[in-house]
Amino acid sequence: MSRNLSAPLAAGVVVSLVLAACGGQATSPSAGASGGGSDGGPSGELVVITPSLTGQGEDVITQAALEWSHKPWWDDVHDYVIEQDTEGALVPGLATEWTPSEDGLTWTFTIREGVKFHNGDTLTAEDVAWSWNRVIFDPASTHTIIGRAPEVESITGDGNEVVVVTRSPQATLPMWFAELDGGSAGAVYSQAYYEEVGDEMWSEPIGTGPYQFVSMEGEQSATLTAFLDEERSDWQQERTPGFKDLTIRAAPDASTRVALLQTGEADVVPLPISSIEELEGAGAELIQVPGATQSVMWCMGFSMNPDSPCNDEAVREALSIAIDRQGIADSIFRGYAQPSSAFMAGEGAHGNPESLAAADFDPERAVELLAQAGFDESNPLTVEIVVADVPGDMPLMPTTAEAIAGNYADIGVEASVRVGEEEANKEALFGFEFNGQEAGDPPTPITLYIRGMDNRYYFVDEQATLFTDDSENGSSVWNADAFPEMSERLRAIQAEFDFDAQGEMMADYHNWMAENWLQMPLLSASAVFGVSDKVGGWDFRIAGKGFPHNMWSIQPAE
């Protein structure tokens, strides 16, 4: 019998090794010298780690779920009509300018001439119109921007102009297609290439970006190389990458990412807050991008259930000022976060209320306010904090919720924390399942819902949809009928075509929200990246979701 068993055993070992040899692809990450090539062009290889990459061959234009996991490398292969600078302001990308018509129903984008795709074709306004039409109107599209479809009449390209006609004035339309505020909706693709290769475009993409696609290995890595065609336009030549080759690899586990940096197998690594101190102590080079993600807490009973204690402004204020935001930022986030004064704003964001301070931590006043509202030791207020741990979003949200529950316990509020799965929480939120979302619900426990968000995600549209009665989805947080001023303010912002004036109106809106304690902004956290000694400068711009971005601008160290 030993012979009978040894044969399959040996076969198993052999098959294992053969499969190992076939399945693996020997690579030498981080290989290559840094610095410019002998001809002055880029040289060397940069290895960048990201938490996830999506699979090869998936239609990234129309799949909303894919946009953030593709974006780390997709944006270095493709360009946007509108880009955003470090302050979040809209700056020219493939378009040199964009202007609204007097009636506000038409936006005209002027497209740069002579821009080349990686296959040598010249970019046209028709390519832009085709890309945008597909993401908005394709029946297969599940992209975030599809919510705008009912508002868009047509998108056409002619000469070097793209014309977008809408059914109502849309002052914020450029943000729909902007590089960061618009997710990946505004990326431009070659219509001719798609007609030639069909869905193969997703596994062999071409764009006009600083890097061109070389290969993708499943969901493990994507390999790019600098686009150095001499025929490329001056604008493209100005965006020549600092490194010749770029490899983006996925590592979902934070400790793995740290290990990759420590062993020199990676050059740019998004770091978890828990490992920052250790790496700092070891002398690692860190790059901090403030205000990458943000969190807020909403009282679910507020304005939707007449019996909810949250209808009393004193209770809303008490629940907000009882939170020790600075303490949470210093202890849980180890200084890599700061108290937040407004939600979907933040340092550098368009319309950020610069003069608005975060709510002061004042537990004594909170106790007084609760007593005014009839809650004390003999009649304690009860709350349930609902939260989810969302990878890639605002970090440490469940721990933050626990800390808030501790703050509440200190003022006599009985708080429990319900950590759920993100999508299940959303289902319940939009399904009006939380206590307090409907009239007739018991007044307590109050549901306090924590939501994380990146700072810049077309603020106005999102707020308008969430907080007004314009949409079928609306009113899951507040009953807009109870706050007509909120809807009026948001609609006024959407109708303001002067960008600066629009920003001021947004700041006013945030101030008004804070004065009335309509929501509880919590914290704004930094994205932190560990970098190897190969990395010199990096024009990082803004990092929603904390992923590496704009990697073509990474320059080799001297």
Partner 1 sequence: MTRYLVGRIFQAVLGLVFITTLVFFLVRLTGDPARILMSDFAPLELREELAQRLGLDRPLYEQYLSYMGGLFSLDLGRSFNGQPVIDILLARFPATASLALAAMFVAIVLGLPLGILSAVYRGSAIDIFARTVALFGQSVPAFWLAIMLVLIFAVILRIFPVAYSQGIESYVLPAIAIGWAAVAGIARLVRSSMLDVLDSDYVRMARAKGLPSTVVVVKHAFRSALIPVLTFAGLVLGSFLNGSVVVETVFAWPGLGKLTLDAVNSRDFPVVQGAVIMIAVFFITINLLVDLLYAFLDPRVRYR
Residue (of 359, 390, 48, 383) closest to 222 by Cα position: 48
* DSSP conformation class of 440: T
Does 221 sit near partner 1 (CB under 8 A)? yes
Minimum Å distance from CB 424 to partner 1?
6
Q: Which two tokens stand for residue 302?
A: 């507020």
Does 168 sit near partner 1 (CB under 8 A)? no
Does 252 sit near partner 1 (CB under 8 A)? yes
Does 57 sit near partner 1 (CB under 8 A)? yes
Nearer to partner 1, 11 or 286 (CB): 11
Q: Which two tokens stand for residue 239?
A: 């965006």
Q: How far apart are CA 189 and CA 193, in angstroms?
A: 8
Q: Pick one of 25, 38, 355, 378: the residue that binds partner 1 (CB under 8 A).
A: 25
Counting Cβ atoms within 10 Å, is residue 172 exposed (0-12), middle (13-18) or buried (19+)?
buried
Residue (of 105, 119, 99, 223) closest to 161 by Cα position: 99
Lookup result for tokens 């290969």: 215
Minimum Å distance from CB 472 to partner 1?
4
Task: Report the run of H or E that residue 325 belongs to, with start and end.
Answer: helix 325-331
Does 7 sit near partner 1 (CB under 8 A)? no
Stretch that binds partner 1, among 59-67, 113-121, 314-322, 362-370 (CB under 8 A): 59-67
Does 137 sit near partner 1 (CB under 8 A)? no
Q: Pick one of 31, 33, 149, 214: the residue that binds partner 1 (CB under 8 A).
A: 149
Collapsing DSSP to helix, strand or coil, 546 comes out as: helix
Nearer to partner 1, 117 or 459 (CB): 459
Q: What are the DSSP calls for 404-437, one per residue?
A: HHHHHHHTT-EEEEEEE-HHHHHHHHHTT-STTS
Per-residue x/- marks for partner 1, 260-279, CB under 8 A? x-xx-x--------------
Q: Is residue 413 within 8 Å of residue 370, measured between CB atoms?
A: yes
Does 142 sit near partner 1 (CB under 8 A)? yes
Stretch that binds partner 1, among 98-106, 348-356, 395-403, 469-477 (CB under 8 A): 469-477
* End-to-end Cα separation, the chain, in angstroms: 66
Does 537 sit near partner 1 (CB under 8 A)? no
What's the one-letter identity of residue 309?
P
Taking the CA atoms of 486, 491, 495 and 497 in sequence, report the sign of the dihedral they define: positive
Q: Pick one of 41, 55, 306, 537: the residue that binds partner 1 (CB under 8 A).
A: 55
Nearer to partner 1, 67 or 324 (CB): 67
Binding site for partner 1 (CB under 8 A): 1-2, 4-5, 9, 12-13, 15-17, 19-27, 55, 57-59, 63-66, 139-140, 142-147, 149-150, 218-221, 249-253, 255-256, 259-260, 262-263, 265, 421, 423-424, 426-427, 430, 461-462, 465-466, 471-473
